[in-house]
Copies of this chain bind each other. A is one copy, B any other.
Amino acid sequence: MGAFGFELLRTDGAARLGRMHTARGSVDTPAFMAVATQGSVKSLLPADLRAAGAQIVLANTYHLWLRPGAEVIRELGGLHRFMAWNGPILTDSGGFQVWSLAKLRTISEDGVEFRSHVDGSLRVLTPESCVEIQRALGVDIIHPLDECLAQPATEAATEQSLALTLRWLRRGAARWRDGGAGQALFGIVQGGVYPATRRRAVAETCALDLPGYSIGGLAVGEAKAVMLDVTELTAALLPADRPRYLMGVGKPPDLVEAVARGVDLFDCVLPTRNARNGQAFTADGPLTLTHARYARDPAPLDADCACEACRTVSRAYLRHLFGSRELTAYRLLTVHNVTFFQDLMARMRAAIAEGAFGALRTRFLARYGVESGDDSDGRAE
């Protein structure tokens, strides 16, 4: 694992202030990772991410493996050099995309065979090749192949799926340990929505004594309360001295609620994807920029925000750019949304440091309001 490590600096209730160390720099937690699906956070360059306060990004193993190919990226010096981001990078296992994007999946004990959504080629992903692909990418934090069970699933099906995920985990972890230092493998805790299954998932995953743990199988369409309950249950069982990553979550209130339950790390495509649909995140809740009421509005998107969009242009201008399908519309709104998410994490960290997380949580949720509608997953940029 080389330089990888995690310091738990302070707790406030279940909320945790920490610092994750990697060979490519530290990450203050709780942290949110913008998603660079194909090696690029859509419309942003690394300097924009830094300006927004981002310290780590997520990239998708599945996408980069299929295009341009892990070996191409290795040959070009690894993903950091390829995408010109010199901070830490985390990759998922690719499993989620195999289940959501690929065609004609055939699952076996060995792994999963499918057809690429890019060119229709036949591909096989095994626990071992999954580790090798991420090794070729040269990223800092990697994930083992897991089965992403379609929801809703019975307890028996969930148990069976977990058993396969755990067998795959042991194979992936063995390959990872063989490969020597340099990357941290996070174990993915599956187990669906069943407490007993989750408990066993935690116990068996943590038995491998991995550098970090990821909570998987959530944010896939289950009710919000279920997501939070399972997160709370799982986080409480994980070792305090390892980072905890809740995969694919989420909306701003979800981040606050999950931090309140002890989560350290998040990723989601919402800030970037919703930006491209004209939705800005603000302290007062989402703002749909395409509404006619903003046609002559000279105000910035969010008066409290210091991002490049809010510093320089009006809602009226941004709405005009959207209506005109200008590329800068997507860029400016993405800059804002990514900054909003980073600012929210920074505010949570500051509140935990001051022992005032509870007050921030109450204040934030009251002002932000309750969102209705779209509860779709946030991992398919």
Chain A residues packing against B (C-beta within 8 Å): 38-47, 63, 67-68, 72, 75-77, 82-84, 295-296, 298, 308, 312-314, 316-317, 319-321, 323-324, 326-328, 330-332
With A and B bound together, what is the CA distance between A298 and B314 in angstroms? 40
Q: A44-B328, A67-B323, A312-B46 are in contact. Are A76 and B38 (CB under 8 A)?
A: no
- Asked if B82 and A332 sit within 8 Å, CB to CB, the answer is no
- Asked if A40 and B72 sit within 8 Å, CB to CB, the answer is no
Instruction: Give the contacting residue for A296; candidates B72, B296, B312; CB below 8 A.
Output: B72
Instruction: Give the contacting residue for A67; candidates B39, B296, B320; CB below 8 A.
Output: B320
Which B residues are CB-close (under 8 A) to A326? 38-40, 42
- Asked if A38 and B313 sit within 8 Å, CB to CB, the answer is no
Q: A38-B326, A76-B298, A295-B72 are in contact. Are A84 and B43 (CB under 8 A)?
A: no
- Asked if A76 and B314 sit within 8 Å, CB to CB, the answer is yes
- Asked if B314 and A43 sit within 8 Å, CB to CB, the answer is no
Ranked 5 nearest A-B pairs via Cβ: A84-B312, A43-B327, A38-B324, A68-B320, A40-B328
With A and B bound together, what is the CA distance between A324 and B42 in angstroms? 11
Q: A45-B328, A68-B320, A327-B327 are in contact. Are A77 and B312 (CB under 8 A)?
A: no
Which B residues are CB-close (under 8 A) to A314? 76, 82
Which B residues are CB-close (under 8 A) to A308? 45, 47
With A and B bound together, what is the CA distance between A295 and B320 in angstroms? 37
Which B residues are CB-close (under 8 A) to A39? 317, 320-321, 324, 326
Which B residues are CB-close (under 8 A) to A320? 38-39, 67-68, 82
With A and B bound together, what is the CA distance between A83 and B308 in angstroms? 13
**Other CB < 8 Å A-B pairs besides A67-B320, A75-B296, 6 of them?**
A40-B326, A45-B308, A46-B312, A68-B316, A68-B319, A72-B316
Nearest-neighbour CB distance to chain B for A147, whole angstroms, equals 27
**Of all chain B residues, which has the CB nearest A64?**
B320
Pairs across A and B, CB under 8 Å, 13 listed: A39-B317, A39-B320, A40-B321, A41-B328, A42-B326, A45-B312, A45-B332, A68-B319, A76-B298, A76-B314, A77-B298, A82-B313, A331-B331
With A and B bound together, what is the CA distance between A319 and B43 in angstroms? 16
- Asked if B83 and A313 sit within 8 Å, CB to CB, the answer is yes
Nearest-neighbour CB distance to chain B for A224, whole angstroms, equals 31
Which B residues are CB-close (under 8 A) to A47? 308
**Of all chain B residues, which has the CB nearest A330?**
B327
- Asked if A317 and B76 sit within 8 Å, CB to CB, the answer is yes
Nearest-neighbour CB distance to chain B for A301, whole angstroms, equals 13
